[in-house]
């Protein structure tokens, strides 16, 4: 995690009157920032003369974790409440980021969209209420650090999903090329056969007997037969090479494959990783959805739809899954 490319982007949203808490929090986060575990961004990074709203939106969109410093001042801020909080929660619900409320002082944060989230410091006790503020800040940093593992798992799962999609696309391309080549060879053989039949028919129409056709073939088209024989040999060699190439590509594909999920009796139409990255959900044209572990073992089968399943999704807590089907219904299931 010391590679700059693996830095986890942390966006801090706050109200101007809470800047003291921001400055203190940055001090306690400094060890993680220094060793490149995280990269902190707040609006103090904006260069004078630039469009500040654009910079805030860009960095909020790129954030892996968003710390919302919550107080009566921030909840009273239209920009904090109507812009930053709304955008942050939309990304959180799509599992593109993790929103963590940091309660600075007593306020009605439980009456906002943040009420469903685990807050810091511990148990959502306002930072200002702690007898020892250093303990409160340390508790916040330790809580943030635990969330870094979830961010890393999500990155790994996204990379795996992309790799699986690319591998599947490549396998389909190989199969299509093989089918096209087989069709081309078939059409060429059929064309040659029709040409031979046409020549025989033309000679037959001219009154040439079968024996004469044979004699004529032996005497007059020896060179043609030799050319056709050579052509067949070339086609056979080409066919062998194509089959060999396909085998090599399939072997390479299998060597790069992590896990194979097999069990559906028809095509898979939708897949999803669980929030913790430990299971995979698939929906199929066989009218079922299935839950698997990362080794490809079946955990749970969801049956009940009367037509193929179009999409699947996990709830944010991973306790339920949602399936939608061409039977005009969506169904919510408990995960055992």
Where among 134, 161, 188 does a domain terminate? Answer: 161
Q: Tell me which DSSP letter residue 306 carries.
A: S
239, 309: one domain = no
**Confidence tier at 174 by pLDDT (50, 70, 90):** confident
79, 226: one domain = no
Using the predicted structure, report yes or no on whether residue 175 has a pLDDT greater than 90. no
Give burial (CB, 10 Å; 0-12/13-18/19+) of 25.
buried
Cα–Cα distance, 63 to 50 (Å, whole number): 20
247, 155: one domain = no
Q: Compare 113 and 253 and report the one with higher pLDDT.
A: 113
Q: What's the pLDDT tens digit per position in 9-39?
A: 999 999 999 999 999 999 999 999 898 899 9
Q: Tell me which DSSP letter residue 61 carries.
A: H
- pLDDT of 189: 80
Q: Which domain holds residue 52?
A: 4-161
Q: What's the pLDDT tens digit per position in 151-166?
A: 888 888 878 888 888 8
In a domain, 208, yes or no: yes
295, 174: one domain = no
Lowest mean pLDDT among 25-39, 79-93, 186-200, 268-282: 186-200
Using the predicted structure, report yes or no on whether residue 252 has a pLDDT greater than 60. no
Using the predicted structure, report yes or no on whether residue 60 has a pLDDT greater than 70. yes
Give the residue-averaged pLDDT of 69-83: 95
Q: Which residues of 163-186 are buried (b: 16+ CB within 10 A; e: fewer)?
A: ebeeeeeeeeeeeeeeeebeeeee
Q: Facing residues of 321 across strands? A: 314, 333
Give the percent of the chain with pLDDT over 90: 52
Residue that is written with structure tokens 């599992």 in the block: 95
166, 150: one domain = no
- pLDDT of 3: 41
In a domain, 261, yes or no: no
Lowest mean pLDDT among 34-38, 90-94, 186-190: 186-190
- pLDDT of 4: 42
Number of domains present in the structure of the chain: 3
* CATH number reported for the structural domain that contains residue 122 in this entry: 3.40.50.10140
Using the predicted structure, report yes or no on whether residue 211 has a pLDDT greater than 60. no
25, 146: one domain = yes
How many CB atoms are closer than 10 A to CB 152? 15
In a domain, 263, yes or no: no
Lowest mean pLDDT among 65-79, 244-258, 288-302, 305-319: 244-258
Give the residue-averaged pLDDT of 133-143: 94
How distant, in Å, are the alpha carbons of 6, 42, 103, 161, 334 from that of 69?
Answer: 25, 11, 6, 34, 34
The encoded tokens of residue 246 equal: 């396909």
147, 72: one domain = yes
151, 115: one domain = yes
89, 29: one domain = yes
Backbone angles phi, psi at 292, to 5 degrees: -125, 155
273, 218: one domain = no
pTM over 0.75: no
What kind and span of H or E run contains 299? strand 298-303
51, 132: one domain = yes
218, 330: one domain = no
Cα–Cα distance, 122 to 194 (Å, whole number): 83
């Amino acid at each position: 995690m010391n590679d700059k490319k693996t830095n986890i982007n942390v966006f801090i949203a706050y109200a101007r009157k809470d800047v003291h808490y921001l400055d203190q929090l940055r001090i306690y986060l400094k060890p993680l920032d220094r060793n490149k575990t995280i990269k902190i961004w707040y609006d103090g990074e904006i260069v004078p003369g630039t469009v500040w709203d654009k910079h805030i939106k860009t960095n909020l969109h790129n954030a892996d974790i968003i710390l919302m410093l919550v107080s009566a001042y921030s909840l009273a801020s239209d920009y904090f409440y109507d812009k930053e909080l709304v955008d942050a929660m939309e990304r959180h619900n799509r599992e593109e980021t993790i929103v963590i409320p940091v309660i600075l002082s007593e306020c009605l944060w439980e009456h906002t969209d943040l009420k469903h989230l685990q807050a810091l410091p511990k148990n959502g006790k306002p930072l200002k209420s702690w007898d020892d503020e250093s303990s409160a800040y340390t508790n916040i940093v330790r809580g943030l650090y635990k969330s870094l593992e979830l961010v890393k798992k999500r990155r790994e799962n996204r990379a795996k999903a992309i790799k699986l999609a690319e591998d599947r696309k490549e396998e389909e391309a190989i199969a299509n090329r093989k089918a096209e080549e087989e069709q081309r060879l078939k059409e060429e053989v059929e064309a040659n056969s029709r040409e031979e039949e046409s020549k025989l028919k033309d000679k037959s129409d001219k009154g040439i007997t079968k024996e004469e056709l044979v004699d004529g073939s032996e005497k007059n088209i020896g060179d043609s037969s030799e050319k056709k024989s050579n052509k067949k040999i070339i086609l056979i060699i080409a066919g062998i090479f194509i089959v060999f190439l396909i085998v090599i590509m399939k072997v390479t594909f299998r060597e790069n494959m992590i896990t194979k999920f097999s069990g559906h009796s028809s095509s898979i139409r939708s897949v999803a990783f669980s929030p913790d990255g430990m299971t995979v959900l698939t929906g199929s044209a066989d009218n079922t959805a299935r839950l698997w572990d990362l080794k490809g073992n079946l955990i749970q089968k969801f049956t009940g739809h009367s037509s193929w399943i179009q999409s699947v999704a996990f709830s944010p807590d991973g306790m339920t899954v949602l399936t939608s089907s061409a039977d005009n219904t969506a169904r919510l299931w408990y995960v055992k």
